[in-house]
Amino acid sequence: MSLDQAALHRSALPWQERRVECRFRLILSCPKSCCSMKGNDVSKETLEIGLLFFPGMTQLDVTGPFEVLARLPGARIHLLWKSLDPITSDVGLTLMPTTPFAECPTLDVLCVGGGPGQMALMDDPEVMAFVADAGARARYVTSVCAGCFILAGAGLLTGYRSACHWLSRDQLAVLGAIPVKDRIVVDRNRISGGGVTAGIDFAFEVAAQLCGVDIARRLQLMLEYDPKPPFDITEDNAPAELLAEIRSAARPMLEERLRSSERAAARLAAGQPQSDVAGGAAGCSAGAPQ
């Protein structure tokens, strides 16, 4: 993509550099005046929020959080990839990145989702170097579903508790992370969500950490987040034969994920890349735990 095309591409994205001045959007967003509540005065701040895009991603892992986080006061969203070329999700949805790695600012939030493309990403030195560097400078380092493997492979979850999709949770220990069977896990400045749809729950937790509970509650109300799934089925109550069937069907993918994690663990043991997240990016007045 040429520079002229990139400029045109950006100008067509209302969430990137400008707000859509429509009444409905304003109602569903949190204006900066909201931040006077509970002392969360961020009226002069910009929140730099980066969501990693990649081929083969499960888009709901990050588009769920996008829908919430883009409505925070002062939020500027960066849909991150190597280039501005479109990428395709694991089920065929075309997605447009907005910020190439080289132009990524210091982030308040780095968010990484998962999907089948995660395994190839773990062996991509450009991507893993970017994640390690961006995570080392971000105020909050976050993931949804199998995105935790990408963070862990970049050395960002060693000794940290993390949620993950139930099918792969046990593999996190290979990379030095501590797997936790919770839908949302907060461990200092690491925040993680479980599988796919947990990214929406996770996003309200991130919103609360960034801008306070009152703003997160307002967004949850305005987005009418009140899930009532039609079926009561989880890993805890599903029939054993159904769980066995799903695990059997997923076995090739899980074996590939394990191999990619073992390769990443070997690289970490050899000292490349390793990152200790120090935080330090500016953001809302609510401090980031370290």
Which active-site residues does the annotation give?
A: 145
Count other C-beta atoms under 10 Å from residue 202's C-beta: 28
Q: What's the rounded Cα separation, in Å, for the pair 279 and 106?
A: 10
